Amino acid sequence: MAELAQFAKMNGLGNEIIVADMRGRADRVLPAAAVALAADPATRFDQIMAIHDPKAPGTDYYVEIINSDGSMAQACGNGMRCVVQALSAETERSRFTFETVAGVLDAEEHTDGLISVDMGRPRFGWQEIPLAEEFRDTRMIELQVGPIDAPVLHSPSVVSMGNPHAVFWVDGDVNAYDLERFGPLLEHHPMFPERANITIAHVTARDAVTIRTWERGAGLTRACGSAACAVAVAAARTGRTGRQVTVTVPGGPLDILWRGDDHVVMTGPAEWEFSGRFDPATGEWEREREGAA
């Protein structure tokens, strides 16, 4: 067995997260370990946020993001808030700069305990998202679920927040749609060569949107931070809202601001559940005794 690594089981508005401390190590969290941890009810997660030593100058840490099916993710806003809370408690710092596959991002824990993450700039070009065919205007593309003359969902807005998102706008309760059935089909639709996060969104006011998300590589989730950012941007871009909105996910509200410099800033909470140690190769784990030195 490899030397065990420390981890914290956390959540961001119900988005289940494992923060794995891989600093000072040469190994990585393997897909087999992720699948094993996800299969255990005690350590079930949506994403693993593996903190590694920094690679790029001017950054504090490199963060690798692994989905519950063992695949890699480019972005996870709720997970980044958990990383910030864990590191802030350890270091007594409040500001950090991280490198991820999606790029470099800044994050800060505020005095009230809420955490803001700069999720970077959205990308709208069909090749950047990416899509399998050209659409000049990605505020609405041709894609639907159900009969041609009476589709259940249709004409999503598409955007990349470092990962691909499709947002289907509905006029009523987002819970009235069978996302557990539609989600996998749309995630793997040929339109999305890198798969996609699928969100159903209902605008309830000029500054409020309610959503549910089928997360690429993780399935139904109580919160998806990058989806909340994608929805906020798409809502403003289509004239449905302004540039600052409260996006309510099943786990609670997130504040999203699409700043004038084009960066999207997400603010919300994070919560610690328990700590332990695990084998990054196999996923075998043990709970840390409360009060242990």
Which residue numbers are catalytic? 76, 224
Contact 50, 26 (CB under 8 A): no
Q: Is the bond into 41 cis (omega within 30 degrees of 0)?
A: no
Residues contacting residue 54 through CB under 8 Å, at least 6 positions apart: 60, 61, 62, 99
Confirm if 38 and 44 have CB atoms less than 8 A apart: yes
Residue 271 CA: distances (Å) to CA of 83, 218, 237: 10, 20, 32
275 has which bridge partners?
Answer: 8
Contact at 8 Å (CB) between 160 and 192?
no
Give the angle subtended at the CA of 260 by the CAs of 258 and 266, to the nearest 5°: 25
> How many Cα atoms sit within 13 Å of 164 on the Cβ side?
23
